[in-house]
Amino acid sequence: MPYTAYARVSDEDIAAMYQWFMNEVAPSDYQPPATELPFPFNIRLSMAAWNLLFHDNRTYTPDPAQSDEWNRGAYLVEGLTHCGTCHTPRNLFMGEDRSRLLAGGAVGPWAAPDITSDRNRGIGDWSVEELVQYMKTGSIRRSQASGPMAEVVDHSLQHVTDEDLQAIAIYLKSVPADASEQGAQTVHDWGQPGNRLAEVRGVTLPEETNDWSGPQLFDAYCAACHQPSAQGTPDGIMPALYNNTATGRPESNNLALVILQGIHWFGDGHEMHMPGFAHELTDQQIATLGNYLIEMYGNPAAELSEGQVSALREGTAQAQGQPDLLLLARIGLLVGVLVVLLVIGLVLRRRKKNRT
């Protein structure tokens, strides 16, 4: 629940949403399951301390040095669309690192990429028009929405007015790049068309499916839609797999999750559908296929392992480069308890010494 972002929303807009929820949304008898948070997150009082450290409940204040359109975009990004909730890195206590605004975060195992003006890692090389098209349809030639971002397009952004999407794009293009992160080259410039299908055509497939090679798996599961050299279809409905953020980022979780789960959503009348292969391919096959796609068309810094795919399939994987929050919280709590016990021990020892 991104209440830290909604705190930026004006009272008038909150009141308007309340009226809409109460008068326009049909009631439902659905009973959601009870919240079952692991210790220590099930201690609600701990949120009071967290809010004291990291929550700013002030509404958005326009910047008089910027245009009305820029301020509208900033208001929407920081509040109603809460982009930073996913795309801003977080510290060890899961507070947003505002010094690295929108420089890339995580949603569960999914990587939420850098959406600052950085030309290599972010959207600095995108035009305002491309950003608007992506938010409205979920797809441009260099990038397609998947996972949580596909849900954002499907359920939210495609319904936003063109004027507001333009304002969001203008604001995002102005967000400073994160100086602490440097990309080797633009994420959508990796790779080129090509294939290794000649070496597998006419060759009997191994009886053991885990022994299938990357070209064999690509030929069986990818080439029919994405074309033999991964060039996609001329209309862009089936995208190219090179010069594409799907294979151009150094993190490989998203690529594996797309192969496992597929993509299916509607954006402004534009349907994107790719079947998931979780029930057809083994963890080893997905790792082999993913590494072939990376080697042929993507960023060589990325790598995919069988164990990584297994954890993603089972829902136990962490986002790459992100801390294990539960482990850190329990370690922090243990350290706190030990400190308290140490202080109590010192106090009791001093009292005993004073008595003697």
Q: What pLDDT band is residue 322 in, cutting at 50, 70 and 90?
A: low
Residue written as token pair 């349809």: 137
- Cβ atoms 180, 118 nearer than 8 A: no
Burial of 77 (0-12, 13-18, 19+ CB in 10 A): buried
Between CA 249 and CA 190 the distance in angstroms is: 9
Q: In the predicted model, what is the mean pLDDT of residues 70-95? A: 94
- Cβ atoms 100, 86 nearer than 8 A: no
Express each pLDDT in 161-200 by its tens digit: 999 999 999 999 999 999 887 777 899 999 999 999 999 9
**SS3 call for 70:** helix
pLDDT of residue 179: 84
More confident residue, 41 or 150: 150
Handedness of CA 193, 225, 234, 114 (dihedral sign): negative
Residues of the chain above pLDDT 70, percent: 94
Domain residue ranges of the chain, discontinuous segments joined by +: 3-172, 197-314, 325-356
Nearest 5°: CA angle at 213, between 210 and 218? 110
Q: In this structure, are strands 263-267 and 270-274 parallel, antiparallel, or unpaired?
A: antiparallel
Express each pLDDT in 14-55 by its tens digit: 999 999 999 999 999 999 998 888 877 788 888 898 899 999
Q: In the predicted model, what is the mean pLDDT of residues 317-329? A: 67
- Cβ atoms 292, 217 nearer than 8 A: yes
Express each pLDDT in 226-284 by its tens digit: 999 999 998 878 899 999 999 999 999 999 999 999 988 766 666 778 899 999 999 99
Give the global pTM. 0.87
pLDDT surpassing 70 at residue 326: no
List Cβ<8 Å contacts ≥24 apart for 41-50.
Answer: 41/326, 41/329, 50/93, 50/94, 50/95
Consecutive H or E run containing 106: strand 105-107
Terminal Cα-to-Cα distance of the chain (whole angstroms): 57
Let me know if domain 197-314 sits in CATH 1.10.150.240.
no
Q: In the predicted model, what is the mean pLDDT of the chain?
A: 90
- Cβ atoms 193, 230 nearer than 8 A: yes
Consecutive H or E run containing 84: helix 84-87
Q: Chain-centre distance of CA 190, in angstroms?
A: 20
pLDDT surpassing 90 at residue 330: no
pLDDT of residue 164: 98
Q: In the predicted model, what is the mean pLDDT of residues 134-144? A: 92
